[in-house]
Amino acid sequence: MEKIQEIWFENERIYMLSVSGKVFSRPLEAFPALKDADFVQRQKFYIWGNGEYVRWKELDEDLSVESFFDSTEPNYNNEVARIFNRCPWLSVKEVAKFIGMPKAVLDRFIYGIWQPKEEVMSVIKNGIKSMSQELLQAVS
């Protein structure tokens, strides 16, 4: 089992050096709280659990060694990303709140790290439609 020796950030990626000397890397899109964090916030972490986890208390973010083994890279060519690109005034945070979805989950769909199931895609689309209807009613 790999254990964390060191963590660092470079070129919009997080890197982990394991105690066995292997380097693992993931795009920050895989961890939206870290992507949204500034340099200082990213540096405030500690390794715990005998080297199996890393924690950012201020960001309420925890990663395990296994988090670094996934090789999924961002894919912005997806339906959720296209919706938000077409409507850049939409706040991801507010849409997520409106539909009852954690922002980090919606971010992962936008970044193409995760693929929403059909029923989840419907929730996203219907939520945006409902927000639009409320806006129309507000100005009518």
- pLDDT at residue number 1: 82
- pLDDT at residue number 13: 98
The DSSP string of 82-119 is HHHHH-TTS-HHHHHHHHT--HHHHHHHHHTSS---HH
- pLDDT at residue number 132: 94
Per run of 10 residues, the mean pLDDT along the chain (length 140 residues) is 96 97 97 97 98 97 96 96 96 97 97 97 98 94
User: CA-CA distance, 57 to 55, in Å (whole number)?
Assistant: 6
CA atoms within 13 A on the CB side of 98: 17
- pLDDT at residue number 92: 97
